[in-house]
Amino acid sequence: MKINFVEKLLGSGFYTGYIPFASGTFGSLAGLIIYFIPGFEKLEIIVPAIIIFLIYGIYLGSKFEKEYGKDPAECTIDEVVGMWISLLLLPKNIYVSVFAFLVWRALDIIKPSPARQAEKLKGGLGIMMDDVIAGIYSTIFVHITLVVLSRV
């Protein structure tokens, strides 16, 4: 089951997965760059993108695991999706986006429960779900931080 060009392009987060260091950070950066496409933040755009990439990511993650081993660094579509989830309903500006990026990376690395348990799921489901959970935590944290800062 060979990985074709489109699968490699999307599954590796636009080839960020092939960067030999910090591929998850570069995959997240790819997601952030896509987010800055005008209009991408609109719910009618970003939510379907998250759903499509999540479903396709589960499929691709399983293919990448067969090719490269358990939760391979080459597969960064999960970081793209997690980054997009982290940015949901936030003000679209560089300061908030960079803050969300930093929070997202920290939570993706720390993997608070149940993200760590989700990572143990088989195949692409495990690859994607820990990042979905960390992305949800990230967006909640950033939203709460913005509310608190707005009252200071």
Neighbours of 28 (CB within 10 A): 30
Tens-digit pLDDT profile for residues 27-62: 999 999 999 999 999 999 999 999 999 999 999 999
How high is the pLDDT of residue 152?
Answer: 86
Residue 1 above 80 pLDDT?
no
d(CA 143, CA 150): 11
d(CA 125, CA 75): 13
Query: Residue 50 is encoded by which pair of tokens?
Result: 């998250």
d(CA 76, CA 82): 10
How high is the pLDDT of residue 69?
Answer: 92
Share above pLDDT 90 across residues of the chain, in percent, rounded to a whole number: 96
Sign, CA torsion 70/75/90/146? positive
Annotate 58-95 with b (16+ C-beta within 10 A) or e (fewer): bbbbbbbbebeeebbbbbbbbbbbbbbbbbbebeeeee
How high is the pLDDT of residue 82?
Answer: 98
Give the mean pLDDT of the chain: 96
Residue 8 above 80 pLDDT?
yes
Q: What is the pTM of this model?
A: 0.96
Task: Tell me the CA distances in angstroms from 17 to 61, 71, 104, 112, one per residue in order.
Answer: 12, 11, 17, 23
Tens-digit pLDDT profile for residues 78-130: 999 999 999 999 999 999 999 999 999 999 999 999 999 998 899 999 999 99
How high is the pLDDT of residue 117?
Answer: 94
Domain residue extents for the chain: 5-150
